[in-house]
């Protein structure tokens, strides 16, 4: 069977600074990140023939193409479901390159999520749309269940009940991420680690989630250049080979509110992604030297470790205990500090960190990383990648 594994690579990464108020338009942020990624790869805009972004991105592919001087495009697509799109953009790009639909595809995500529209703020319009998503939301929004933190908290409560996990267990994720961010100059929380006590003392957002269980809000942009593995070998940077790419949606899936399927203590959609990644790459959890686990809210980091097979069901609290996911732990997770510590760029900044780990150029480098797993937004249909050294 034809496999996508090993045929393509991430050849360039680029980003703007991560801030709370970029002071410029989202289109400018996108253009800056795309330029940075192309410069990193040693490619010019005229060599790009494909663009992929999120359905939530406000910058059309053609607008970005005009802005950075990309000419003809033979491939453009968008990936849906919020932050679940992150790794999906690379998957779509890789499929386009592997099939010859395009030769060089740039994936980008750019937003002023802090100074512009903030995802964490209640939007009364969520339940007002007669679209299928609006109808989903209409079973929740009238009761005030309308923020990402609240939707995740509903799962977290059931997870705690089922497996005996505690708020401290969630807090250990936040502490690890902030520890990593503290030594990453690009991170918003550079130099600002936290303790478990600070996590516990932080205000309630939606019980059982404290403020420090929730990732920050950020302005910024990240772009990635995907091309064939063969071509990538001739470019400036060591290629980060796409060993596997997968999307996943589970039975009874909803956008953040999959409360009606049998079990609320897992993330079946991430199980779909995990099975796809292991099968396509022929690798196993033990082959990963690091992982980038989507961390918009701490509880789902635990669920993902279980769904991906890094530990058994309900065992994540033990897996993360005693610094298990810190840089010197048995599975370093998010050495850049994740979205809790570095920035919330909808998961794209995590993919960039995975590439740096493969290259061996991260400020928080985890020894030699042969393979790194990356996940995208959780609670929604999602996606994942395994990137590998050549």
Partner 1 sequence: MTTTAESSLHELLTALGERQIAVGEVRGVAATDPVNLPMIHHWTDAMGDANPVYTDEDFARGSVHGEIVAPPAMIQVWTMPGLARAKGAASPMDDVLGALDENGFTGVVATNCEQTHHRYLRLGETLVPATRMTGMSGPKTTALGVGYFVTWVVTWYSGDEPVAEMMFRVLKFRPREKKSEPEARAPFPLRPAVNKDTAFFWDGVREGELRIQKCGDCGELRHPPGPVCPSCRSVNRTHIVAAGTGEVYSFVVHHNPPVPGIETPFAVAVIELPEGVRIVGNVVGCPLEKVGIGMQLRVTYREMDDELVLPMWVPRES
Would you call 110 helix, strand, or coil by DSSP? Answer: strand
Would you call 63 helix, strand, or coil by DSSP? Answer: helix
Residue closer to partner 1 (CB basis): 2 or 260:
260
CB 97 within 8 A of CB 8: yes
Residue closer to partner 1 (CB basis): 204 or 361:
204
Residue closer to partner 1 (CB basis): 218 or 257:
257
Smallest distance from partner 1 to CB 80, Å: 19
344 is annotated as an active-site residue: yes
Smallest distance from partner 1 to CB 379, Å: 14
Smallest distance from partner 1 to CB 215, Å: 15
Smallest distance from partner 1 to CB 122, Å: 5
Smallest distance from partner 1 to CB 353, Å: 29
Smallest distance from partner 1 to CB 337, Å: 23
Residue closer to partner 1 (CB basis): 51 or 154:
154
H or E element, residue 91: helix 86-99
CB 79 within 8 A of CB 377: no
Size of the chain, expressed as the number of residues it contains: 390
Q: Give, in order, the Cα–Cα distances in Å from 310 to each of 159, 316, 330, 332.
A: 17, 8, 10, 12
Would you call 12 helix, strand, or coil by DSSP? Answer: strand
Q: How far apart are the C-alpha atoms of 178 and 244, rounded to whole Å?
A: 29
Instruction: Name the DSSP class of 292.
Output: E
With helix as H, strand as E and coil as C, how does 248-264 read?
ECCCCCCCCCCCCCCCC
Residue closer to partner 1 (CB basis): 262 or 328:
262
Cis upstream peptide for 208 (omega within 30°): yes
List of residues contacting partner 1 (CB under 8 A) = 120-122, 124, 127-131, 134-147, 150, 153-155, 157-158, 161, 203-208, 211, 257, 259-260, 264
Residue closer to partner 1 (CB basis): 117 or 330:
117
Helix pair angle (167-182, 299-307), 10° resolution: 90
CA 355 to chain CA centroid, Å, is 13
User: Which residues make Cβ contacts (< 8 Å) with residue 167, sequence separation at least 6?
Assistant: 160, 200, 208, 210, 213
CA 29 to chain CA centroid, Å, is 18
Smallest distance from partner 1 to CB 127, Å: 5
Residue closer to partner 1 (CB basis): 66 or 313:
313
| Tokens encoding 308 | 């991906």
Which residues are known catalytic residues? 294, 344
């Amino acid at each position: 069977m034809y496999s996508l594994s090993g045929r393509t690579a991430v050849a360039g990464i680029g980003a703007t600074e991560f801030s709370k108020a970029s002071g410029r338009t989202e289109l400018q942020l996108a253009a800056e990140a795309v330029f940075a990624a192309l410069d990193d790869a040693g490619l010019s805009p005229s060599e790009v023939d494909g663009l992929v972004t999120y359905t939530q991105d406000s910058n059309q592919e053609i607008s970005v193409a005009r802005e950075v001087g990309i000419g003809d495009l033979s491939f453009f697509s968008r990936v849906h479901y919020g932050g679940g799109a992150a790794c999906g953009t690379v998957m779509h790009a890789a499929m386009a390159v592997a099939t010859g639909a395009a030769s060089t595809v740039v994936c980008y995500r750019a937003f002023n999520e802090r100074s512009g529209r903030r995802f964490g703020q209640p939007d009364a319009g969520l339940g007002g749309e007669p679209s299928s998503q609006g109808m989903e939301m209409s079973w929740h929004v009238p009761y005030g269940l309308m923020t990402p933190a609240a939707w995740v908290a509903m799962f977290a409560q059931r997870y705690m009940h089922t497996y005996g996990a505690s708020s401290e267990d969630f807090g250990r994720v936040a502490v690890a991420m902030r520890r990593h961010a503290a030594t990453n100059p690009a991170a918003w929380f550079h130099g600002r680690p936290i303790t478990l006590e600070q996590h516990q003392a932080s205000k309630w957002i939606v019980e059982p989630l404290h403020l420090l269980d929730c990732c920050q809000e950020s302005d910024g942009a990240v772009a990635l250049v995907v091309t064939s593995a063969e071509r990538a070998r001739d470019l400036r940077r060591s290629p980060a080979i796409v060993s596997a790419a997968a999307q996943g949606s589970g039975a009874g899936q909803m956008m953040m509110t999959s409360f009606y399927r049998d079990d609320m203590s897992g993330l079946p959609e991430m199980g779909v992604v995990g099975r796809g990644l292991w099968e396509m790459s022929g690798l196993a959890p033990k082959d990963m030297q690091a992982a980038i686990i989507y961390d918009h809210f701490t509880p789902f980091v635990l669920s993902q470790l279980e769904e991906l097979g890094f530990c058994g069901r309900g065992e994540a609290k033990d897996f993360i205990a005693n610094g298990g996911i810190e840089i010197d732990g048995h599975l370093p997770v998010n050495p850049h500090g994740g979205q809790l510590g570095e920035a919330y760029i909808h998961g794209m900044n995590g993919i960039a960190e995975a590439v740096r780990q493969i290259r061996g150029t991260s400020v928080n480098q985890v020894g030699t990383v042969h393979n790194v797993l990356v996940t995208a937004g959780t609670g929604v249909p999602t996606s994942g990648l395994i990137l590998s050294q050549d």
